[in-house]
């Protein structure tokens, strides 16, 4: 082998090349946004995007922003988020937020460039096991070996991503498959995404030309009847909800069941999208702290899963259980992850003769503004509730301050609440970026802890470049406060205390010795978020009091474009 392709890649083909077919196929199925950080192997794909009149291409300066933005876009648009990533290392840089997207059940299609097929054997510096990297964070992985496969495999990737409740699909495109001409012209009509035996798929014909997340399969009537029999006993029971069961219709059905037969309902600890505020049914979430969750769930004899898992602790803790429900609890499934949670809840409502019961909805409640000067987790939620715009999108990566926010904001104007579902920090600002692209007429508010914000602050640059309506509330306690909490929670502080002198033992019992504190504090130097934001083109201000925070939020909400508010806490 001489190392040269059969056709020089700079020749202009008479027929479309693989990259052009890929872009055209995405467009024909209604996909019109691509979040990208390309490299050499993807230049023909970039050229195809350059010739497109309908595909919006958005540059992100780090792959973790690319993948997080695709997740946020998918959650709010009901269409798959598309990424363009540069070979294995580019994919590797984006894996953390693909993990979050997978846990959030978001439909995402990754387009990952690869060396030309004939070049791989030479083990060039960027050669990597892309399929091996992709598999842990993807439900489907495919590699186009030649240009003739591009159209069918693009359809397959879209099909896989849009399966209920939403999946991550990764399509690997070698450079020669991108630059080579195909044997067939791009069709005038979009190729149909077929229905297979694994569940409902997007697009079964020309009338449904947009690849959208599809509803799940119908609930099992046997399971509905089984749960109904449990509820009729009057024994303590709770519904655990996530996925599409948390749509407004699902929450209203759960509220009807609570009014009619006394069953409680909760959301998982973290959820992809949760409708909240005035005019909507409020749902409590299973707490993060093990002690709080155990106290909440200990008295339920029946735990009924609706697209959710049975509640478990975020981590293993010494002398604490992993399962958060009572040891003798009866765990029952009303709807599995692949089934339609709303349909299951509505079927249960009908079976329990509760269709005429009115769900309990929140009223608009304007709280009294806090009188103290310092901003705390509790006052943050009160100030936000006071001024949050109608139909806002709140992205919550407040970490240690998140526990205070749900109760404080339950009476705010109607809004959507997005959470970090996989526990990989650094997703807040990327999620907000994608959500703002999906919903340009809605204000996005990022509640961002300072430590996790440093993982992906490049998202601010994309927000500035695209003039996105994002208000970042940067909570600056200048530490990884969640690690200090967990340091004590797992008992590690006791080991540090044993090694410290008596004079330091009190501090050691709290946050450990100097080494432990050095690994959890964000000082020396202090992060200057106002300068960081302004350096990326985002207007920024620092506040210290609740009055200053309220004024800064109101000013941001009254203007367009991005703004960052650094809150010293």
**Tokens found for residue 513:** 């010795």
> Residue 362: which residues within 8 A CB-CB, separation 6 or more?
276, 277, 278, 279, 280, 281, 282, 410, 411
CATH 3.40.50.1220 in the chain: give the residue spans: 221-351
DSSP 336: -
Which residue ranges does the chain devote to CATH 3.40.50.970?
18-179, 377-478+522-568
Neighbours of 525 (CB within 10 A): 6
Q: How far apart are CA 251 and CA 414, in angstroms?
A: 14
Distances 385 to 244, 269, 388 between C-alpha atoms, Å: 25, 21, 6
pLDDT tens for the 569 residues of the chain, in order: 444 445 455 555 468 999 999 999 999 999 999 999 999 999 999 999 999 999 999 999 999 999 999 999 999 999 999 999 999 999 999 999 999 999 999 999 999 999 999 999 999 999 999 999 999 999 999 999 999 999 999 999 999 999 999 999 999 999 999 999 997 555 555 555 543 333 333 333 333 457 787 879 999 999 999 999 999 999 999 999 999 999 999 999 999 999 999 999 999 999 999 999 999 999 999 999 999 999 999 999 999 999 999 999 999 999 999 999 999 999 999 999 999 999 999 999 999 999 999 999 999 998 898 877 999 988 999 999 999 999 999 999 998 889 999 999 999 999 999 999 999 999 999 999 999 999 999 999 999 999 999 999 999 999 999 999 999 999 998 766 777 667 777 777 666 655 555 444 444 445 677 777 777 777 879 899 999 999 999 999 999 999 999 999 999 999 999 999 999 98
H/E run at residue 174: strand 168-174
Integer-rounded Cα radius of gyration of the chain: 25
Q: How far apart are CA 455 and CA 418, in angstroms?
A: 18
Using alpha carbons, list the distances in angstroms from residue 13 to 17, 35, 198, 526.
Answer: 7, 27, 38, 55
Q: Which whole-number Å values give the CA distances from 560 to 375, 396, 520, in the listed order?
A: 25, 21, 36
Phi/psi region, residue 467 (left: phi>0; alpha: psi -120 to 50; beta: rest), is left
**Lookup: tokens for 395:** 């992205």
CA distance 560 to 549: 18
> In the chain, what is the straight-line distance between the N-terminal and C-terminal CA atoms, in Å?
64
In terms of Cβ atoms closer than 10 Å to its own Cβ (0-12, 13-18, 19+), residue 444 is buried
Superfamily of domain 377-478+522-568: Thiamin diphosphate (ThDP)-binding fold, Pyr/PP domains (3.40.50.970)
DSSP states along 7-32:
S-TTS--SS-BHHHHHHHHHHHTT--
**Is 221-351 CATH 3.40.640.10?**
no
**pTM for this entry:** 0.91
- CA angle, residues 387, 569, 453, in degrees to nearest 5: 85
> In sequence order, what DSSP letters do the residues of 404-431 get, joined into one string?
GHHHHHTTSSSEEEEE-SS--SS-HHHH
Distances (CA, A) of 465 to 60, 128, 181, 389: 10, 32, 34, 23
Question: Distance between CA atoms of 266 and 293, rounded to whole angstroms?
Answer: 11
CA-CA distance, 111 to 130, in Å (whole number)?
11
Place of tokens 């192997």: 41
* Nearest C-alpha neighbor of 151 from the set 182, 120, 113, 179: 182
Q: What class does CATH assign to 18-179? A: alpha beta
Alpha-carbon gap, residue 298 to 327, rounded angstroms: 9
Give the separation between CA 255 and CA 415, rounded to whole angstroms. Answer: 19
Contact 451, 479 (CB under 8 A): yes
């Amino acid at each position: 082998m001489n190392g040269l392709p059969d056709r020089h890649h700079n020749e202009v083909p008479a027929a479309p090349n693989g990259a052009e077919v890929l872009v055209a196929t995405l467009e024909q199925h209604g996909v019109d946004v691509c979040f990208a950080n390309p490299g050499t192997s993807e230049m023909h794909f970039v050229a195809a995007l350059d010739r497109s009149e309908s595909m919006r291409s958005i540059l992100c300066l780090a792959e973790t922003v690319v993948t997080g933005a695709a997740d946020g876009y998918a959650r709010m648009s009901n269409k798959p988020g598309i990424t363009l990533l540069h070979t294995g290392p580019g994919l590797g840089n984006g894996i953390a937020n693909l993990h979050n997207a997978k846990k959030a059940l978001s439909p995402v299609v990754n387009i990952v460039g690869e060396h030309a097929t004939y070049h791989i054997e030479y083990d060039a510096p960027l050669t990597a096991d892309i399929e091996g990297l992709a598999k842990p964070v993807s439900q489907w992985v495919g590699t186009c070996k030649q240009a003739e496969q591009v159209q069918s495999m693009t359809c397959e990737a879209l099909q896989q991503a849009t399966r209920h409740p939403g999946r991550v699909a990764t399509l690997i495109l070698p450079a020669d498959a991108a630059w080579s001409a195909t044997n067939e012209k791009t069709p005038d009509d979009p190729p149909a995404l077929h229905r297979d035996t694994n569940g409902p798929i997007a697009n079964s014909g020309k009338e449904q030309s947009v690849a959208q997340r599809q509803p799940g399969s119908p609930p099992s009537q046997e399971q509905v009847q089984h749960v109904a029999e449990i509820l009729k006993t009057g024994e303590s029971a709770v519904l655990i909800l996530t996925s599409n069961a948390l749509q407004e219709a699902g929450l209203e059905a759960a509220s009807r069941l609570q009014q009619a037969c006394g069953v409680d309902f909760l959301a998982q600890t973290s959820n992809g999208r949760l409708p909240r505020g005035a005019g909507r049914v409020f749902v409590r979430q299973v707490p993060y702290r093990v002690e709080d969750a155990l106290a909440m769930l200990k008295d339920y004899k029946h735990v009924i899963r609706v697209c959710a898992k049975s509640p478990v602790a975020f981590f293993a803790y010494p002398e604490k259980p992993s399962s958060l429900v009572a040891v003798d609890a009866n765990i029952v499934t009303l709807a599995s992850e692949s089934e339609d949670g709303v349909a299951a809840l509505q079927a249960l409502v009908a079976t329990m003769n509760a269709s005429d019961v009115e769900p309990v909805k929140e009223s608009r409640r304007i709280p009294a503004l806090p009188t103290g000067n310092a901003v705390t987790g509790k006052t943050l939620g009160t100030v936000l509730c006071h001024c949050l715009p109608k139909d806002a999108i709140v992205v919550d990566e407040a970490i240690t301050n998140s526990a205070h926010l749900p109760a404080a904001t339950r009476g705010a104007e109607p809004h959507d609440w997005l959470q970090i579902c996989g526990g990989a920090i650094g997703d807040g600002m990327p999620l907000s970026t994608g959500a703002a692209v999906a919903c340009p007429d809605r204000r996005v508010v990022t509640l961002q802890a300072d430590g996790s914000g440093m993982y992906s602050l490049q998202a601010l640059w994309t927000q500035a470049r695209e003039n996105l309506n994002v208000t970042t509330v940067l909570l600056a306690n200048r530490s990884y406060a969640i690690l200090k909490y967990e340091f004590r929670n797992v008992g590690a502080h006791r080991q540090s205390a044993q090694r410290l002198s008596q004079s330091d033992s009190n501090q050691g019992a709290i946050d450990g010795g100097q080494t432990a504190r050095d690994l959890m504090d964000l000082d020396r130097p202090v992060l200057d978020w106002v300068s960081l934001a302004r350096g990326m083109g985002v207007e920024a201000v620092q506040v210290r009091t609740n009055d200053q925070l309220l004024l800064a939020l109101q000013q941001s909400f009254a203007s367009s474009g991005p703004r960052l508010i650094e809150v010293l806490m």
